[in-house]
Homo-oligomer: A and B are copies of this chain.
Amino acid sequence: MVMTMTEEFDGHLQELRRGTIVLASLRLLREPGYGYGLLEQLSAAGFPTDSNTLYPLLRRLEKQGYLVSEWNTEEARPRKFYRTSDAGLRLADTLSRDVQAIAAAATKLP
């Protein structure tokens, strides 16, 4: 148990943070952006994550209709950029209220 304690401790922190990556991504992608640029923006905004977490998440959010994507073909290698849909903005508003409600409830715990 002792050997993996730090790993498990970090695991609980990560679980807590993961849910908020969706919120932060939807808000930041009001301005269309690439996955790589979003990684940096997330980190700067206090929601650090990695590409192995973010890229599948972006594909899932697109499939669910919360993000829309387009291809930028102006450069040598076409790149996909994402933008938050109206449904995505509504989801972000709900998640945002939820985060604040959870934080308020947390301050009242014994």
Centre residue among A16, A20, A103 by max chain B CB count within 10 A: A16
Which secondary structure characterizes the binding site on chain A? helix
**Residue pair A17, B98 in contact (C-beta under 8 Å):** yes
**Residue pair B99, A103 in contact (C-beta under 8 Å):** yes
Residues of B within 8 A of A17 (CB): 19, 98, 102
In the complex this chain forms, how many copies of it are found? 2
Closest chain B residue, CB of each to CB of A110: B27
Interface residues on A, range: 35 or more
Pick the contact of A46: B28, B63, B105 (CB < 8 A). B105
**Residue pair A22, B27 in contact (C-beta under 8 Å):** no
Chain A contacts to B: CB under 8 angstroms: 1, 5, 8-9, 12-13, 15-20, 22-24, 27-28, 30-31, 45-47, 63-65, 87, 91, 94-96, 98-110
